[in-house]
Amino acid sequence: MSASAPDLPADVLLDVRDLAVAYRNGRGEEVRIVDGVSFQVRRGEAFGLAGESGCGKTTTALALLGLLPTSLYRPTGEILLNAADGLVSIHKRTERGMQQVRWAKVSMVFQGAMNALDPVMRVSNQIGEAIRLHEPGIDRRGVEERIAELFGYVGIAAARSRQYPHEFSGGMRQRVMIALALACKPELVIGDEPTTALDVMMQAQILQLLEDLRRDLGLSLILITHDLSVLAETCDRVAIMYAGEIAEIGTVRDLYAKPEHPYTQRLLAAFPAVGGPRQLAPAIGGVPPDPADQPTGCRFAPRCHRVQDICAAQAPALRALDDERAARCHFAPWPTGSTT
C-alpha cells in the first residue's frame, strides 16, 4: 500500500470524488442513481447524509463498502480511504481486497438489524466470526474478551452475547449491530438509518451511544437519515442529497442557520428541532424525479417554491459559497432573512 496521496491532508479519512453509480435498465440504457457526488469525511468527524427516500443515500453507502454487485451496477469516480496503514482506493480493489477493508476499516450499521443478523446463530458466534476473519491467529479466550469489551461499549451485559437475535428487543438488537460493526476496530462506521425503526426514546439512546463511541474510540461516522433533526444533534457537517446529487453541503451550524438551497429550506421546515416550536410545515409538493428521466435544468425545479425561468433551462453547478459551504442553486446565496 502506498503512503498518503500528496493531495490528501492527514486529517481527511475519506475522500469521495465525483462518485457516480449507474445501472442498466430494461431498455439497455444506463441510469445514474448517484451522479457526481463528492465529499470528504475528516478523522473523528460525524458527517451526515440526508435527503428524501430514493435520492441515493444507501447506494452511496454501499459504494463506499464496495457492496454494489458489479453485475448490476457500474460505479465510477474515486473513493479514497486514508486508512492508518495506508491509502486504499475502493474502486480499484478486488472483492478479495475489499474483504480486508470491510469491517476492519469501514463497517456499516444497517436499518433493519434483523436482516443483518443471522437468526439461527448465537450473537457471540456472529461477532466471533467477524473477529476471526480479520485476526486468524486469535484464540477463543481472545475472542471472548473482545466480545465482552464490545458489549461493554454498547451497554449490554456480556452474558447476553450467547443469546439469539430474536431474544433482543429492537433497540437492543441495534446495539448488538453496533457491537458487530465495531468488532474489528474500524476507522469509519456508516449508519444507514440506524434509528429509523425505533421509537423516539430508543432513537435518542442509540444516537447518544454512537456519539459517545465516536468520541471515546476516535471513530469517524457517516450518519444517513431522512430526518434532519437527527443530524442536527449528532453531526459536524452534512450533505443534503436530491435526485442522486448533492444539493447542499456545509457545517450543521451554518446550514441550519441559513439553508441556501430551497430544498434544504423546505426540508428543515419539515423537521422542527426536537422540543422546538412545532408549526405546520409547508410540505414539499410532488415527488422526486424518476432517475431515468431527470429534468434538463435544476432537478429540483419542478417542486421548487422559488423557481425562476433559468431553473428549468439550465442545470446549476454545486458552487462553493465559502470554505465549508456549497449549494446547487442559481440564486445562492439568498439575501439574509429570505431563506424559508
Ligand X SMILES: Nc1ncnc2c1ncn2[C@@H]1O[C@H](COP(=O)(O)OP(=O)(O)O)[C@@H](O)[C@H]1O
Q: Write out the residues near Mg ion by the rule CB under 5 A.
A: 57-58
User: Which position among 22, 32, 59, 248 is part of the footprint of ligand X (CB under 6 A)?
Assistant: 59
Minimum CB–partner distance for residue 226 and ligand X (Å): 7
Residue with cell 447524509: 49
Minimum Å distance from CB 62 to ligand X? Answer: 8
Min dist CB 194 to ligand X, Å, is: 13
* Residue 53 interacting with ligand X (CB under 6 A): yes
Nearer to ligand X, 14 or 55 (CB): 55
Q: What is the nearest approach in angstroms of ligand X to the Cβ of residue 216?
A: 29
Binding characters for ligand X, 272-291, by CB under 6 A (x = yes) = -------------------x
Beta carbons within 8 Å of 54's beta carbon, 6+ residues apart: 288
Instruction: Report the sign of the C-alpha dihedral through residues 171, 107, 135, 153, in that order.
Output: negative
Compute the least distance from the CB of residue 290 to ligand X, in Å: 8
Please give the DSSP secondary-structure letter assigned to residue 322. Answer: S
DSSP state of 334: P
66 versus 191: smaller Cβ distance to Mg ion: 191
Closest-CA residue to 158 (of 137, 131, 176) = 176
- Distance CA(193)–CA(309), nearest Å, equals 36
| Closer CB to Mg ion, 57 or 146, in the complex | 57
In the list 15, 45, 54, 65, the residue contacting ligand X (rule: CB under 6 A) is 54
> Which residues are paired to 22 by β-bridges?
32, 74
Comparing CA positions, the residue from 46, 20, 57, 43 lying closest to residue 196 is: 57
- Binders of ligand X among residues 62 to 81 (CB under 6 A) are 72
Question: What stretch of H or E contains 96?
Answer: helix 95-101
Burial (CB count within 10 angstroms: exposed 0-12, middle 13-18, buried 19+), residue 182: buried
| Contact status: 195 vs ligand X (CB under 6 A) | no
Phi, psi of 318, deg, nearest 5: -80, 105
Q: How many residues bind ligand X (CB under 6 A)?
A: 12
* Stretch touching ligand X by CB under 6 A, among 47-55, 153-161, 227-235, 308-316: 47-55
Please tell me whether residue 267 binds ligand X under the rule CB under 6 A. Answer: no
Interface residue with ligand X among 20, 39, 50, 56 (CB under 6 A) is 56
Q: CB–CB of 80/15 below 8 Å?
A: yes
Give the Cα separation of 284 and 275 in Å (integer).
23
- Distance CA(276)–CA(78), nearest Å, equals 40
Q: Which is nearer to ligand X, 54 or 171 (CB)?
A: 54
Q: Which is nearer to Mg ion, 55 or 172 (CB)?
A: 55
Strands 30-42 and 46-50: unpaired
Max Cα distance, the chain (Å): 68
As measured in angstroms, the least distance from the Cβ of 221 to ligand X is 17
What's the closest the beta carbon of residue 57 comes to ligand X, in angstroms?
3
- Applying CB under 6 A, which residues contact ligand X? 23, 33, 51, 53-59, 72, 291
